[in-house]
């Protein structure tokens, strides 16, 4: 077995794993969040604005548990991701072909869609039904807008997501590794 491993971009040593196991043994009442916070404090693991990297630490702990290197305490409540990949429950009407001149649709109204609002469910349902890739869920922070015509018919959905941490171009020369 190696003496160092790279997990989630961090180099871990056998001493790091031993410390995590020792915390579990010494503090059996600590929950997963507490372990993540202690790990952040121990490593001084903070983001660019000085906040603890709690989610990164939790993710790292889950990866270590999945590899069988540590054992985490049981979850205190269901995962916040329990709704991941759910189908939107909004009302979806049969598509109506709008045949009109551009000028006759004006004025257009572009309105933000508030998270959790009844309109948000409809927004998700419209994307699921009409986007060529479908739509299951949004990842990270995003802004949603619904474009309606003068008769209040939905014409377009605009979804702006936060920048990706890492991404790769869809097209690259053959044989080029990422």
Length of the chain as a residue count: 178
- What pTM was estimated for this model as a whole? 0.48
Residue 71 placed within a domain: no
Structural domain boundaries enclosing 43? 4-66
Give the residue from 66, 89, 118 where a domain finishes.
66
Q: Are residues 11 and 61 in the same domain?
A: yes
Query: What pLDDT, in 10s, does the model give residues 119-145?
Result: 888 888 888 888 877 777 777 778 899
Whether 159 has a pLDDT exceeding 70, the answer reads yes
What pLDDT was estimated at residue 26? Answer: 92
Q: Are residues 61 and 112 in the same domain?
A: no
Q: Are residues 10 and 60 in the same domain?
A: yes
**C-alpha to C-alpha distances, 162 to 127, 144, 159, 165, nearest whole angstrom:** 18, 12, 10, 9
Q: 64, 14 in Cβ contact below 8 A?
A: no
User: What gap in Å lies between CA 21 and CA 36, rounded to an integer?
Assistant: 13
Alpha-helical regions (H) of the chain: 14-26, 32-43, 54-66, 102-105, 118-130
Residue 142 placed within a domain: yes
Residue 80 placed within a domain: no
Query: What pLDDT, in 10s, does the model give residues 80-103?
Result: 655 555 555 555 555 677 888 888
Query: What is the domain count for the chain?
Result: 2
Structure tokens at 90: 């909004």
Taking Cα atoms as reference points, which of 39, 32, 33 lies closest to residue 74?
32
Residue 90 placed within a domain: no
Residue 21 placed within a domain: yes
Residue 120 placed within a domain: yes
Bridge partners of 159, per DSSP, are: 144
Residue 151 placed within a domain: yes
Residue 77 placed within a domain: no
Our measurement of the distance from residue 174's CA atom to the centroid of its chain's CA atoms, rounded to an integer in Å, reads 31
Our measurement of the distance from residue 46's CA atom to the centroid of its chain's CA atoms, rounded to an integer in Å, reads 19
CB atoms within 10 A of CB 26: 8
User: What gap in Å lies between CA 37 and CA 8, rounded to an integer?
Assistant: 17
Q: Are residues 59 and 113 in the same domain?
A: no
């Amino acid at each position: 077995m190696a003496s160092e491993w790279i997990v989630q971009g961090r180099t871990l040593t056998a001493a790091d794993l031993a410390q995590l196991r020792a915390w579990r043994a010494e503090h059996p009442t600590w929950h997963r969040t507490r372990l993540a916070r202690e790990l952040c404090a121990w490593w001084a693991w903070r983001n660019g604005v000085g906040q603890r990297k709690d989610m990164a630490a939790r993710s790292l702990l889950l990866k270590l548990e999945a590899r069988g290197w540590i054992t985490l305490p049981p979850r205190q409540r269901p995962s916040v991701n329990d709704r991941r990949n759910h189908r939107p429950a909004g009302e979806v009407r049969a598509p109506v072909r709008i045949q009109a001149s551009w000028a006759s649709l004006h004025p257009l109204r572009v309105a933000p869609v508030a998270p959790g609002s009844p309109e948000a469910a409809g927004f998700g349902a419209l994307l699921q039904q009409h986007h060529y890739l479908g739509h299951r869920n949004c990842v990270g922070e995003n802004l949603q807008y619904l474009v309606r015509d003068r008769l209040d018919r939905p014409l377009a959905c605009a979804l702006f997501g936060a920048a990706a941490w890492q991404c790769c171009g869809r097209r690259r020369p053959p044989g080029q590794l990422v």
